[in-house]
Structure 1
Amino acid sequence: MDTSLLKCFLTVAEKQSFSEAAERLNITQSTVSHKIARLETHLGKQLFERTTRTCMLTSDGRELVEHATRVIRSIEEMEQSFKPDLLTGTLVVGVPDDHYLFVPLTEALKNFMLEKPRVGVEIRGGLSSDLMRDLRQRNIDLAVIRDVPAMQDSDVLCIEELVWITAPNWVPPNDGVVPLALVRGPCAYRGAALAALEQNGMPWKCIVTCTSLQGVFAVVRAGLAVAVVTEGDIGSGVQSAPAGGFLPPLPGSSLTIRYADKQPTLAARALARTMADVLTEMTRESPA
Protein backbone atom coordinates (compact mmCIF):
# COMPACT_ATOMS: atom_id res chain seq x y z
CA MET A 1 0.00 0.00 0.00
CA ASP A 2 1.11 3.53 -0.78
CA THR A 3 1.67 5.04 2.66
CA SER A 4 0.98 8.53 1.29
CA LEU A 5 -2.67 7.45 1.17
CA LEU A 6 -2.62 6.82 4.91
CA LYS A 7 -0.91 10.17 5.58
CA CYS A 8 -3.55 11.91 3.49
CA PHE A 9 -6.33 10.02 5.28
CA LEU A 10 -5.00 11.01 8.71
CA THR A 11 -4.73 14.65 7.68
CA VAL A 12 -8.32 14.75 6.42
CA ALA A 13 -9.48 13.00 9.61
CA GLU A 14 -7.61 15.59 11.69
CA LYS A 15 -8.85 18.64 9.78
CA GLN A 16 -12.32 17.29 8.94
CA SER A 17 -11.94 19.11 5.65
CA PHE A 18 -10.54 18.14 2.25
CA SER A 19 -9.56 21.74 1.48
CA GLU A 20 -7.72 22.23 4.79
CA ALA A 21 -5.99 18.87 4.36
CA ALA A 22 -4.86 19.93 0.89
CA GLU A 23 -3.43 23.15 2.32
CA ARG A 24 -1.60 21.26 5.09
CA LEU A 25 -0.16 18.72 2.61
CA ASN A 26 0.60 21.36 -0.02
CA ILE A 27 -1.33 19.49 -2.73
CA THR A 28 -4.56 20.24 -4.60
CA GLN A 29 -7.96 19.37 -3.20
CA SER A 30 -8.64 17.10 -6.18
CA THR A 31 -5.45 15.16 -5.36
CA VAL A 32 -6.68 14.69 -1.79
CA SER A 33 -10.04 13.44 -3.07
CA HIS A 34 -8.28 11.06 -5.46
CA LYS A 35 -6.06 9.63 -2.69
CA ILE A 36 -9.02 9.07 -0.36
CA ALA A 37 -10.98 7.41 -3.17
CA ARG A 38 -8.02 5.10 -3.89
CA LEU A 39 -7.77 4.18 -0.22
CA GLU A 40 -11.51 3.51 0.06
CA THR A 41 -11.38 1.35 -3.07
CA HIS A 42 -8.36 -0.56 -1.77
CA LEU A 43 -10.01 -1.26 1.61
CA GLY A 44 -13.53 -1.69 0.28
CA LYS A 45 -14.89 0.67 2.92
CA GLN A 46 -16.33 4.18 3.04
CA LEU A 47 -14.15 6.21 5.37
CA PHE A 48 -15.88 9.61 5.39
CA GLU A 49 -19.42 10.98 5.38
CA ARG A 50 -19.12 14.06 3.19
CA THR A 51 -21.23 17.22 3.20
CA THR A 52 -20.78 20.47 1.31
CA ARG A 53 -18.84 22.02 4.21
CA THR A 54 -17.19 19.25 6.17
CA CYS A 55 -16.51 15.54 6.34
CA MET A 56 -16.89 13.19 9.27
CA LEU A 57 -15.33 9.80 9.84
CA THR A 58 -17.53 6.74 9.44
CA SER A 59 -17.23 3.90 11.97
CA ASP A 60 -14.76 2.21 9.61
CA GLY A 61 -12.85 5.47 9.31
CA ARG A 62 -12.59 5.83 13.08
CA GLU A 63 -11.25 2.30 13.32
CA LEU A 64 -8.70 2.99 10.58
CA VAL A 65 -7.30 6.06 12.39
CA GLU A 66 -5.70 3.90 15.08
CA HIS A 67 -4.24 1.43 12.57
CA ALA A 68 -2.97 4.14 10.22
CA THR A 69 -1.37 6.12 13.05
CA ARG A 70 0.48 3.00 14.17
CA VAL A 71 1.69 2.26 10.64
CA ILE A 72 2.97 5.79 9.95
CA ARG A 73 4.70 5.99 13.30
CA SER A 74 6.34 2.59 12.74
CA ILE A 75 7.61 3.70 9.32
CA GLU A 76 9.07 6.89 10.77
CA GLU A 77 10.78 4.92 13.53
CA MET A 78 12.19 2.54 10.90
CA GLU A 79 13.52 5.46 8.87
CA GLN A 80 15.14 6.90 11.99
CA SER A 81 16.91 3.58 12.60
CA PHE A 82 17.96 2.74 9.05
CA LYS A 83 18.37 6.22 7.56
CA PRO A 84 19.97 8.26 10.33
CA ASP A 85 21.20 10.76 7.75
CA LEU A 86 17.61 12.04 7.65
CA LEU A 87 17.97 13.04 11.30
CA THR A 88 20.54 15.78 10.96
CA GLY A 89 20.69 19.55 11.12
CA THR A 90 19.49 22.05 13.69
CA LEU A 91 15.93 22.54 14.85
CA VAL A 92 14.70 25.69 16.56
CA VAL A 93 11.77 24.91 18.85
CA GLY A 94 9.54 27.36 20.68
CA VAL A 95 8.26 26.58 24.16
CA PRO A 96 5.89 28.63 26.34
CA ASP A 97 7.85 29.97 29.30
CA ASP A 98 5.34 28.66 31.85
CA HIS A 99 7.63 27.20 34.52
CA TYR A 100 5.73 23.94 34.98
CA LEU A 101 5.89 23.28 31.21
CA PHE A 102 9.39 24.54 30.57
CA VAL A 103 11.05 22.16 33.03
CA PRO A 104 9.70 18.80 31.71
CA LEU A 105 9.85 19.91 28.08
CA THR A 106 13.48 21.01 28.26
CA GLU A 107 14.36 17.75 30.04
CA ALA A 108 12.70 15.83 27.20
CA LEU A 109 14.57 17.92 24.62
CA LYS A 110 17.86 17.16 26.39
CA ASN A 111 17.10 13.43 26.17
CA PHE A 112 16.18 13.84 22.49
CA MET A 113 19.57 15.43 21.77
CA LEU A 114 21.39 12.63 23.61
CA GLU A 115 19.51 9.97 21.63
CA LYS A 116 19.93 11.80 18.30
CA PRO A 117 23.32 13.49 18.51
CA ARG A 118 23.30 14.53 14.84
CA VAL A 119 20.32 16.82 15.46
CA GLY A 120 21.03 20.13 17.16
CA VAL A 121 18.20 21.78 19.08
CA GLU A 122 17.87 25.45 19.97
CA ILE A 123 15.12 26.24 22.49
CA ARG A 124 13.32 29.59 22.51
CA GLY A 125 10.92 30.43 25.32
CA GLY A 126 8.26 33.08 24.96
CA LEU A 127 4.61 34.05 24.66
CA SER A 128 2.53 31.95 22.28
CA SER A 129 1.74 35.04 20.20
CA ASP A 130 5.47 35.65 19.69
CA LEU A 131 6.06 31.98 18.88
CA MET A 132 3.26 32.07 16.29
CA ARG A 133 4.87 35.12 14.68
CA ASP A 134 8.21 33.30 14.58
CA LEU A 135 6.55 30.28 12.95
CA ARG A 136 4.99 32.47 10.24
CA GLN A 137 8.35 34.15 9.63
CA ARG A 138 10.11 30.75 9.70
CA ASN A 139 12.42 31.86 12.48
CA ILE A 140 11.60 28.62 14.32
CA ASP A 141 10.75 25.15 12.99
CA LEU A 142 8.05 24.09 15.43
CA ALA A 143 6.50 25.24 18.68
CA VAL A 144 4.19 24.32 21.52
CA ILE A 145 1.35 26.85 21.32
CA ARG A 146 -1.22 27.75 23.96
CA ASP A 147 -4.67 28.84 22.73
CA VAL A 148 -7.20 30.69 24.87
CA PRO A 149 -10.03 29.82 24.75
CA ALA A 150 -9.23 26.16 24.22
CA MET A 151 -9.34 24.77 20.72
CA GLN A 152 -11.66 21.82 20.11
CA ASP A 153 -10.04 19.65 17.47
CA SER A 154 -7.81 16.61 17.07
CA ASP A 155 -4.61 18.70 17.15
CA VAL A 156 -5.09 19.39 20.86
CA LEU A 157 -2.70 17.52 23.14
CA CYS A 158 -4.21 18.66 26.41
CA ILE A 159 -6.72 21.13 27.82
CA GLU A 160 -5.99 23.06 31.01
CA GLU A 161 -8.11 25.31 33.17
CA LEU A 162 -7.16 28.93 33.75
CA VAL A 163 -7.48 30.18 37.33
CA TRP A 164 -7.26 33.42 39.25
CA ILE A 165 -4.40 33.44 41.76
CA THR A 166 -4.24 35.55 44.90
CA ALA A 167 -2.17 35.79 48.06
CA PRO A 168 -3.57 33.54 50.84
CA ASN A 169 -4.76 36.55 52.84
CA TRP A 170 -6.10 38.58 49.90
CA VAL A 171 -9.60 40.04 50.24
CA PRO A 172 -11.63 41.75 47.52
CA PRO A 173 -11.26 45.56 47.57
CA ASN A 174 -14.05 47.61 49.10
CA ASP A 175 -14.43 49.72 45.95
CA GLY A 176 -14.84 46.62 43.75
CA VAL A 177 -11.95 47.58 41.44
CA VAL A 178 -9.89 44.47 40.69
CA PRO A 179 -6.11 45.08 40.98
CA LEU A 180 -4.22 43.20 38.29
CA ALA A 181 -0.67 42.03 37.72
CA LEU A 182 -0.18 41.48 33.98
CA VAL A 183 2.47 40.28 31.56
CA ARG A 184 3.35 42.95 29.02
CA GLY A 185 2.29 42.44 25.44
CA PRO A 186 -0.22 40.08 23.80
CA CYS A 187 -0.20 37.48 26.60
CA ALA A 188 -3.02 34.88 26.53
CA TYR A 189 -3.45 35.16 30.31
CA ARG A 190 -3.69 38.94 30.12
CA GLY A 191 -6.31 38.69 27.39
CA ALA A 192 -8.34 36.13 29.36
CA ALA A 193 -8.29 38.26 32.52
CA LEU A 194 -9.38 41.46 30.80
CA ALA A 195 -12.05 39.74 28.72
CA ALA A 196 -13.57 38.00 31.77
CA LEU A 197 -13.69 41.22 33.78
CA GLU A 198 -15.13 43.30 30.96
CA GLN A 199 -17.75 40.65 30.06
CA ASN A 200 -18.92 40.74 33.68
CA GLY A 201 -18.86 44.53 33.92
CA MET A 202 -16.19 44.56 36.62
CA PRO A 203 -13.83 47.55 36.86
CA TRP A 204 -10.11 46.89 37.09
CA LYS A 205 -6.79 48.65 37.37
CA CYS A 206 -3.30 47.50 36.46
CA ILE A 207 -0.94 47.53 39.44
CA VAL A 208 2.11 46.26 37.57
CA THR A 209 3.09 45.11 34.09
CA CYS A 210 5.97 42.61 33.91
CA THR A 211 7.98 40.98 31.16
CA SER A 212 7.56 37.49 32.68
CA LEU A 213 5.38 35.49 35.03
CA GLN A 214 8.03 35.61 37.74
CA GLY A 215 7.36 39.29 38.33
CA VAL A 216 3.62 38.67 38.28
CA PHE A 217 3.95 35.99 40.97
CA ALA A 218 6.04 38.28 43.18
CA VAL A 219 3.38 40.98 43.10
CA VAL A 220 0.57 38.50 43.75
CA ARG A 221 2.46 36.95 46.70
CA ALA A 222 2.78 40.41 48.22
CA GLY A 223 -1.01 40.74 48.11
CA LEU A 224 -0.90 43.76 45.81
CA ALA A 225 -2.82 42.23 42.91
CA VAL A 226 -4.42 39.15 41.40
CA ALA A 227 -3.49 37.42 38.13
CA VAL A 228 -4.47 34.64 35.75
CA VAL A 229 -2.36 31.51 35.14
CA THR A 230 -2.98 27.81 34.45
CA GLU A 231 -3.64 25.42 37.31
CA GLY A 232 -0.23 23.84 36.74
CA ASP A 233 1.59 27.11 37.42
CA ILE A 234 0.18 27.63 40.93
CA GLY A 235 3.24 27.73 43.19
CA SER A 236 4.10 28.46 46.79
CA GLY A 237 2.80 31.65 48.33
CA VAL A 238 -0.29 31.90 46.11
CA GLN A 239 -3.62 30.13 45.88
CA SER A 240 -6.39 29.80 43.34
CA ALA A 241 -9.45 31.94 43.99
CA PRO A 242 -12.60 29.93 44.78
CA ALA A 243 -14.94 29.27 41.89
CA GLY A 244 -18.13 31.30 42.05
CA GLY A 245 -16.52 33.91 44.28
CA PHE A 246 -15.72 37.56 43.69
CA LEU A 247 -13.66 36.98 40.54
CA PRO A 248 -15.40 35.92 37.29
CA PRO A 249 -15.09 32.52 35.57
CA LEU A 250 -12.34 31.97 33.02
CA PRO A 251 -12.11 29.94 29.79
CA GLY A 252 -9.99 26.85 29.34
CA SER A 253 -6.74 26.74 27.39
CA SER A 254 -5.27 24.13 25.06
CA LEU A 255 -1.80 23.10 23.93
CA THR A 256 -0.91 22.08 20.40
CA ILE A 257 2.29 21.59 18.41
CA ARG A 258 2.57 23.53 15.16
CA TYR A 259 5.14 23.62 12.39
CA ALA A 260 6.56 26.37 10.23
CA ASP A 261 6.46 24.06 7.19
CA LYS A 262 3.41 22.26 5.89
CA GLN A 263 5.56 19.17 5.37
CA PRO A 264 8.01 19.14 8.29
CA THR A 265 11.20 17.12 8.21
CA LEU A 266 11.54 13.71 9.82
CA ALA A 267 13.66 15.30 12.54
CA ALA A 268 10.98 17.91 13.27
CA ARG A 269 8.28 15.24 13.47
CA ALA A 270 10.44 13.12 15.78
CA LEU A 271 11.01 16.10 18.07
CA ALA A 272 7.31 16.96 18.05
CA ARG A 273 6.47 13.40 19.04
CA THR A 274 8.91 13.62 21.97
CA MET A 275 7.24 16.78 23.23
CA ALA A 276 3.73 15.43 22.62
CA ASP A 277 4.52 12.34 24.69
CA VAL A 278 5.61 14.56 27.60
CA LEU A 279 2.47 16.71 27.42
CA THR A 280 0.06 13.77 27.22
CA GLU A 281 1.87 12.05 30.10
CA MET A 282 1.50 15.23 32.18
CA THR A 283 -2.23 15.18 31.44
CA ARG A 284 -2.57 11.57 32.58
CA GLU A 285 -0.69 12.30 35.80
CA SER A 286 -2.65 15.45 36.70
CA PRO A 287 -5.41 14.99 39.28
CA ALA A 288 -8.94 14.71 37.96
Structure 2
Amino acid sequence: MKPPLDLDQLQTFITIADTGSFTRAAEEVHRTQSAVSMQMRRLEERIGKPLFEKEGRSNRLTEEGERLLSYARRLLYLNRETLAAFDDQRLEGTIRIGTPDDYADRFLPEIMARFSRSNPRVELTVVCEPTPGLVDQIKRGQLDIALVTHNDARGQSEVVRREPLLWVGSVNHATHEQEVLPMAFGRPTCVWRRAACDVLDGMNREYRILFTSFSATVITAAVLSGLAISVLPECALRPGMRVLGEADGFGPLPDCRIGLMRGQTDQPEIVDALARHIAESLDNISVPALDDATGLGFGAQALGRGRRGTATILPGW
Protein backbone atom coordinates (compact mmCIF):
# COMPACT_ATOMS: atom_id res chain seq x y z
CA MET A 1 0.00 0.00 0.00
CA LYS A 2 1.35 3.42 -0.95
CA PRO A 3 2.00 5.88 1.91
CA PRO A 4 -0.34 8.90 2.15
CA LEU A 5 0.53 12.29 0.69
CA ASP A 6 2.39 14.73 2.94
CA LEU A 7 0.11 17.63 3.93
CA ASP A 8 3.06 20.01 4.42
CA GLN A 9 4.18 19.33 0.87
CA LEU A 10 0.66 19.95 -0.39
CA GLN A 11 0.45 23.23 1.52
CA THR A 12 3.71 24.39 -0.06
CA PHE A 13 2.50 23.23 -3.47
CA ILE A 14 -0.71 25.30 -3.12
CA THR A 15 1.28 28.34 -2.01
CA ILE A 16 3.56 28.10 -5.05
CA ALA A 17 0.53 27.80 -7.32
CA ASP A 18 -1.08 30.85 -5.72
CA THR A 19 2.03 33.06 -5.75
CA GLY A 20 3.57 31.80 -9.00
CA SER A 21 6.99 31.77 -7.37
CA PHE A 22 9.11 29.37 -5.34
CA THR A 23 10.77 32.37 -3.69
CA ARG A 24 7.54 34.04 -2.54
CA ALA A 25 6.14 30.67 -1.49
CA ALA A 26 9.23 30.03 0.65
CA GLU A 27 8.56 33.32 2.46
CA GLU A 28 4.90 32.40 2.98
CA VAL A 29 5.62 28.95 4.46
CA HIS A 30 8.71 30.13 6.39
CA ARG A 31 11.16 27.78 4.69
CA THR A 32 14.29 28.28 2.63
CA GLN A 33 13.93 28.18 -1.12
CA SER A 34 16.08 25.05 -1.28
CA ALA A 35 13.80 23.34 1.26
CA VAL A 36 10.76 24.27 -0.83
CA SER A 37 12.41 22.93 -3.98
CA MET A 38 13.24 19.68 -2.17
CA GLN A 39 9.61 19.38 -1.00
CA MET A 40 8.36 19.74 -4.58
CA ARG A 41 10.87 17.22 -5.93
CA ARG A 42 9.63 14.71 -3.35
CA LEU A 43 6.01 15.50 -4.18
CA GLU A 44 6.65 15.02 -7.90
CA GLU A 45 8.37 11.71 -7.14
CA ARG A 46 5.38 10.69 -5.02
CA ILE A 47 2.87 11.64 -7.73
CA GLY A 48 5.09 10.34 -10.53
CA LYS A 49 4.39 13.36 -12.74
CA PRO A 50 5.99 16.79 -13.31
CA LEU A 51 3.92 19.45 -11.54
CA PHE A 52 5.63 22.68 -12.68
CA GLU A 53 7.15 24.13 -15.82
CA LYS A 54 9.06 27.39 -16.26
CA GLU A 55 7.35 30.36 -17.89
CA GLY A 56 9.84 33.21 -17.97
CA ARG A 57 10.78 33.87 -14.35
CA SER A 58 7.62 32.28 -13.02
CA ASN A 59 6.60 28.69 -12.45
CA ARG A 60 3.30 27.60 -13.93
CA LEU A 61 1.43 24.38 -13.26
CA THR A 62 1.51 21.56 -15.77
CA GLU A 63 -1.74 19.85 -16.69
CA GLU A 64 -1.03 17.25 -13.99
CA GLY A 65 -0.25 20.06 -11.54
CA GLU A 66 -3.65 21.64 -12.23
CA ARG A 67 -5.29 18.30 -11.52
CA LEU A 68 -3.42 17.89 -8.25
CA LEU A 69 -4.22 21.47 -7.12
CA SER A 70 -7.94 20.77 -6.80
CA TYR A 71 -7.31 17.63 -4.75
CA ALA A 72 -4.69 19.38 -2.61
CA ARG A 73 -7.07 22.19 -1.65
CA ARG A 74 -9.76 19.70 -0.69
CA LEU A 75 -7.34 17.61 1.38
CA LEU A 76 -6.07 20.68 3.28
CA TYR A 77 -9.61 21.88 3.87
CA LEU A 78 -10.69 18.48 5.20
CA ASN A 79 -7.65 18.43 7.49
CA ARG A 80 -8.59 21.83 8.96
CA GLU A 81 -12.22 20.82 9.32
CA THR A 82 -11.22 17.62 11.13
CA LEU A 83 -8.97 19.46 13.57
CA ALA A 84 -11.64 22.10 14.19
CA ALA A 85 -14.18 19.43 15.07
CA PHE A 86 -12.02 18.35 18.04
CA ASP A 87 -10.83 21.81 19.07
CA ASP A 88 -12.22 22.94 22.42
CA GLN A 89 -10.98 26.47 21.68
CA ARG A 90 -12.97 26.86 18.47
CA LEU A 91 -13.79 30.30 17.15
CA GLU A 92 -16.95 31.90 18.43
CA GLY A 93 -18.63 35.25 17.98
CA THR A 94 -20.61 37.13 15.31
CA ILE A 95 -19.37 38.18 11.90
CA ARG A 96 -21.10 40.47 9.41
CA ILE A 97 -20.80 39.46 5.75
CA GLY A 98 -22.19 41.42 2.81
CA THR A 99 -22.96 40.22 -0.71
CA PRO A 100 -25.21 41.16 -3.62
CA ASP A 101 -28.39 39.07 -3.47
CA ASP A 102 -27.52 37.23 -6.68
CA TYR A 103 -24.13 36.19 -5.29
CA ALA A 104 -25.91 35.14 -2.09
CA ASP A 105 -28.22 32.89 -4.08
CA ARG A 106 -25.35 31.38 -6.06
CA PHE A 107 -22.45 31.14 -3.64
CA LEU A 108 -23.63 31.41 -0.02
CA PRO A 109 -25.08 27.89 0.35
CA GLU A 110 -21.65 26.33 -0.25
CA ILE A 111 -19.79 28.97 1.78
CA MET A 112 -22.13 28.79 4.77
CA ALA A 113 -22.20 25.00 4.81
CA ARG A 114 -18.40 24.75 4.82
CA PHE A 115 -17.87 27.51 7.36
CA SER A 116 -20.60 26.38 9.78
CA ARG A 117 -19.32 22.81 9.87
CA SER A 118 -15.88 24.05 10.92
CA ASN A 119 -17.06 26.91 13.15
CA PRO A 120 -20.45 26.00 14.66
CA ARG A 121 -20.10 28.64 17.40
CA VAL A 122 -19.84 31.58 14.97
CA GLU A 123 -23.03 33.44 14.09
CA LEU A 124 -23.22 34.86 10.56
CA THR A 125 -25.13 38.08 9.93
CA VAL A 126 -25.71 38.44 6.18
CA VAL A 127 -26.43 41.77 4.46
CA CYS A 128 -27.55 41.75 0.80
CA GLU A 129 -26.96 44.91 -1.22
CA PRO A 130 -25.44 45.85 -4.59
CA THR A 131 -21.66 46.18 -4.59
CA PRO A 132 -21.47 50.01 -4.25
CA GLY A 133 -23.54 49.87 -1.04
CA LEU A 134 -21.37 47.08 0.35
CA VAL A 135 -18.19 49.04 -0.36
CA ASP A 136 -19.63 52.00 1.55
CA GLN A 137 -20.55 49.76 4.50
CA ILE A 138 -17.06 48.25 4.56
CA LYS A 139 -15.55 51.75 4.66
CA ARG A 140 -17.94 52.82 7.46
CA GLY A 141 -17.07 49.77 9.54
CA GLN A 142 -20.56 48.26 9.26
CA LEU A 143 -19.37 45.02 7.66
CA ASP A 144 -16.47 42.69 8.49
CA ILE A 145 -16.17 41.14 5.04
CA ALA A 146 -17.93 41.44 1.67
CA LEU A 147 -18.10 39.47 -1.56
CA VAL A 148 -18.29 42.04 -4.37
CA THR A 149 -17.92 42.55 -8.10
CA HIS A 150 -14.32 43.74 -8.31
CA ASN A 151 -13.78 47.24 -9.64
CA ASP A 152 -10.40 48.95 -9.36
CA ALA A 153 -12.08 52.33 -8.93
CA ARG A 154 -14.23 51.25 -5.96
CA GLY A 155 -11.49 50.26 -3.59
CA GLN A 156 -9.14 47.40 -2.97
CA SER A 157 -10.54 43.88 -3.07
CA GLU A 158 -8.84 40.52 -3.38
CA VAL A 159 -9.93 38.76 -6.57
CA VAL A 160 -11.06 35.25 -5.61
CA ARG A 161 -12.71 34.19 -8.86
CA ARG A 162 -12.49 35.12 -12.55
CA GLU A 163 -14.97 34.16 -15.22
CA PRO A 164 -15.67 35.13 -18.83
CA LEU A 165 -18.27 37.88 -19.21
CA LEU A 166 -20.59 36.89 -22.04
CA TRP A 167 -23.23 38.41 -24.29
CA VAL A 168 -26.48 36.48 -23.84
CA GLY A 169 -29.86 36.36 -25.54
CA SER A 170 -32.72 33.91 -25.79
CA VAL A 171 -32.21 30.64 -27.64
CA ASN A 172 -35.82 30.89 -28.88
CA HIS A 173 -35.61 34.44 -30.26
CA ALA A 174 -33.45 36.36 -32.75
CA THR A 175 -33.30 39.50 -30.61
CA HIS A 176 -29.62 39.95 -31.45
CA GLU A 177 -30.49 40.45 -35.14
CA GLN A 178 -32.55 43.59 -34.54
CA GLU A 179 -31.15 46.71 -36.16
CA VAL A 180 -31.23 48.58 -32.85
CA LEU A 181 -30.33 46.20 -30.03
CA PRO A 182 -32.63 46.27 -27.00
CA MET A 183 -30.50 45.88 -23.85
CA ALA A 184 -31.22 44.89 -20.24
CA PHE A 185 -28.66 46.00 -17.64
CA GLY A 186 -28.12 46.69 -13.99
CA ARG A 187 -28.11 50.23 -12.74
CA PRO A 188 -25.68 52.84 -14.21
CA THR A 189 -23.10 51.97 -11.51
CA CYS A 190 -22.91 48.36 -12.82
CA VAL A 191 -19.39 47.68 -14.15
CA TRP A 192 -20.74 45.05 -16.56
CA ARG A 193 -23.16 47.60 -18.01
CA ARG A 194 -20.37 50.09 -18.61
CA ALA A 195 -18.14 47.43 -20.17
CA ALA A 196 -20.91 46.32 -22.54
CA CYS A 197 -21.73 49.88 -23.57
CA ASP A 198 -18.05 50.61 -24.23
CA VAL A 199 -17.81 47.59 -26.55
CA LEU A 200 -21.02 48.47 -28.40
CA ASP A 201 -19.94 52.11 -28.79
CA GLY A 202 -16.53 51.00 -30.05
CA MET A 203 -18.23 48.82 -32.67
CA ASN A 204 -20.64 51.62 -33.65
CA ARG A 205 -23.46 49.18 -32.93
CA GLU A 206 -26.80 50.87 -32.36
CA TYR A 207 -28.58 49.94 -29.15
CA ARG A 208 -31.02 51.27 -26.59
CA ILE A 209 -31.29 50.36 -22.93
CA LEU A 210 -34.80 49.00 -22.59
CA PHE A 211 -34.62 47.62 -19.03
CA THR A 212 -32.63 48.85 -16.03
CA SER A 213 -32.91 46.97 -12.74
CA PHE A 214 -30.88 45.69 -9.80
CA SER A 215 -33.23 42.66 -9.76
CA ALA A 216 -31.88 39.37 -11.10
CA THR A 217 -35.42 38.27 -11.89
CA VAL A 218 -36.10 41.28 -14.13
CA ILE A 219 -32.87 40.92 -16.12
CA THR A 220 -33.41 37.18 -16.55
CA ALA A 221 -37.02 37.59 -17.63
CA ALA A 222 -36.07 40.23 -20.21
CA VAL A 223 -33.43 37.94 -21.75
CA LEU A 224 -35.38 34.67 -21.69
CA SER A 225 -38.52 36.30 -23.13
CA GLY A 226 -36.53 37.64 -26.06
CA LEU A 227 -37.13 41.27 -25.11
CA ALA A 228 -33.47 42.18 -24.63
CA ILE A 229 -29.80 41.21 -24.78
CA SER A 230 -27.65 41.37 -21.65
CA VAL A 231 -24.20 40.41 -20.34
CA LEU A 232 -23.54 37.74 -17.70
CA PRO A 233 -20.57 35.78 -16.36
CA GLU A 234 -20.20 32.17 -17.41
CA CYS A 235 -21.47 30.85 -14.08
CA ALA A 236 -24.72 32.78 -14.58
CA LEU A 237 -25.78 30.99 -17.78
CA ARG A 238 -29.04 29.12 -17.51
CA PRO A 239 -31.17 26.92 -19.80
CA GLY A 240 -32.89 28.97 -22.48
CA MET A 241 -30.02 31.44 -22.89
CA ARG A 242 -27.87 31.68 -25.99
CA VAL A 243 -24.25 32.88 -25.84
CA LEU A 244 -23.51 35.43 -28.55
CA GLY A 245 -20.02 35.78 -30.01
CA GLU A 246 -18.09 37.46 -32.79
CA ALA A 247 -19.98 35.45 -35.43
CA ASP A 248 -23.14 37.17 -34.17
CA GLY A 249 -21.54 40.61 -34.34
CA PHE A 250 -20.51 41.01 -30.69
CA GLY A 251 -17.00 41.95 -29.58
CA PRO A 252 -15.15 40.39 -26.63
CA LEU A 253 -15.83 41.61 -23.09
CA PRO A 254 -13.45 41.84 -20.11
CA ASP A 255 -13.51 39.06 -17.55
CA CYS A 256 -15.84 39.23 -14.58
CA ARG A 257 -13.81 39.45 -11.38
CA ILE A 258 -15.36 38.55 -8.04
CA GLY A 259 -13.52 40.14 -5.14
CA LEU A 260 -13.31 39.91 -1.38
CA MET A 261 -13.17 43.07 0.75
CA ARG A 262 -12.29 43.17 4.45
CA GLY A 263 -13.32 45.84 6.90
CA GLN A 264 -11.78 46.94 10.17
CA THR A 265 -12.64 44.27 12.71
CA ASP A 266 -11.79 43.23 16.25
CA GLN A 267 -12.25 39.57 15.20
CA PRO A 268 -9.49 39.04 12.60
CA GLU A 269 -9.28 35.29 13.29
CA ILE A 270 -12.93 34.80 12.32
CA VAL A 271 -12.60 37.04 9.27
CA ASP A 272 -9.50 35.15 8.13
CA ALA A 273 -11.27 31.83 8.58
CA LEU A 274 -14.33 32.97 6.61
CA ALA A 275 -12.18 34.48 3.85
CA ARG A 276 -10.36 31.17 3.50
CA HIS A 277 -13.66 29.27 3.30
CA ILE A 278 -14.98 31.68 0.66
CA ALA A 279 -11.89 31.30 -1.54
CA GLU A 280 -11.95 27.51 -1.22
CA SER A 281 -15.69 27.31 -1.86
CA LEU A 282 -15.52 29.41 -5.02
CA ASP A 283 -12.52 27.43 -6.26
CA ASN A 284 -14.40 24.14 -5.86
CA ILE A 285 -17.51 25.18 -7.83
CA SER A 286 -17.46 23.45 -11.20
CA VAL A 287 -19.27 23.86 -14.51
CA PRO A 288 -21.51 20.92 -15.43
CA ALA A 289 -21.63 19.61 -18.97
CA LEU A 290 -24.24 21.72 -20.75
CA ASP A 291 -26.51 20.59 -23.56
CA ASP A 292 -25.89 22.42 -26.85
CA ALA A 293 -29.61 22.27 -27.52
CA THR A 294 -30.14 24.84 -24.78
CA GLY A 295 -27.75 27.26 -26.41
CA LEU A 296 -25.33 26.96 -23.50
CA GLY A 297 -22.78 24.48 -24.82
CA PHE A 298 -20.90 27.20 -26.67
CA GLY A 299 -20.39 29.23 -23.53
CA ALA A 300 -19.18 26.38 -21.35
CA GLN A 301 -16.92 24.73 -23.89
CA ALA A 302 -15.51 27.48 -26.11
CA LEU A 303 -15.32 30.18 -23.47
CA GLY A 304 -14.30 28.24 -20.39
CA ARG A 305 -11.28 30.37 -19.51
CA GLY A 306 -11.59 31.27 -15.83
CA ARG A 307 -12.35 29.60 -12.60
CA ARG A 308 -15.24 27.23 -12.75
CA GLY A 309 -18.95 28.02 -12.23
CA THR A 310 -22.39 26.45 -12.35
CA ALA A 311 -25.43 27.55 -14.33
CA THR A 312 -27.52 30.06 -12.40
CA ILE A 313 -28.24 33.79 -12.72
CA LEU A 314 -26.15 36.71 -11.52
CA PRO A 315 -26.72 40.25 -12.79
CA GLY A 316 -23.51 41.83 -11.58
CA TRP A 317 -23.41 45.19 -9.89
Q: Give the TM-score band, short-chain normalised.
A: 0.5 to 0.7
What secondary structure, in the 3-state scheme, does the structure 2 residue paired with 1:139 have? coil
2:275 is the counterpart of 1:272: yes
Cα deviation, residue 273, structure 1: 1.1
CA distance in 2, matches of 1:60, 1:205: 51
- Note the alpha carbon deviations across 1:85-136, whole angstroms, 9 max, x for none: xx2221111123336x633423431442354232110122332222212211
Q: Which moved more, 1:206-215 or 1:166-175?
A: 166-175
- Please give the alpha-carbon distance, in whole angstroms, between the structure 1 residues aligned to 2:117 and 2:110: 11
* Aligned partner (choices 98, 101, 114) of residue 102 of structure 2: 98
Which residue, 191, 202, 205 being the options, matches 2:205?
202
Distance 1:195 1:264 in 2: 41
SS of corresponding position for 2:159: coil
- Can you give the 5+ residue segments of structure 2 that lack an aligned partner in the other structure? 1-14, 32-72, 289-299, 305-317
Are 1:158 and 1:283, in contact at CA under 8 Å, matched by a contact in 2? no
Q: How does 1:139-218 map to 2 (within 5 A)?
A: 139-147=142-150, 155-168=158-171, 169-175=173-179, 177-218=180-221
Instruction: Give the direction of change, closer, same or farther, for the CA distance of 1:271–1:166 in structure 2 (3 Å limit).
Output: same
* Aligned-residue CA RMSD (Å): 3.6
Say whether the 8 Å CA contact 2:149–2:258 is kept in structure 1.
yes
1:112 matches 2:115: yes
- In structure 2, the residue matched to 1:83 is 89
For 1:144 and 1:203, the matched residues in 2 are separated by 34
What's the CA shift for 1:173?
4.4
Deviation at 1:267, TM superposition (A): 0.9
Query: TM-score under structure 2 normalisation?
Result: 0.60
- Percent identical pairs in the alignment equals 23
- 1:174 Cα deviation from its structure 2 partner: 4.7
TM-score (norm: length of structure 1): 0.65
The Cα shift of 1:264 comes to 5.5
Partner of 1:37: none
Q: Partners in 2 of 1:59 and 1:92 — Cα distance?
A: 35
Give the drift of 1:82. Answer: 5.3
Structure 1 letter corresponding to 2:101 = D
Distance 1:58 1:159 in 2: 20
Which residue of the partner structure matches residue 126 of structure 2? 123
C-alpha contact 2:114 2:277 (8 A) present in aligned 1: no
Q: Could you say what secondary structure the match of 2:176 adopts?
A: coil
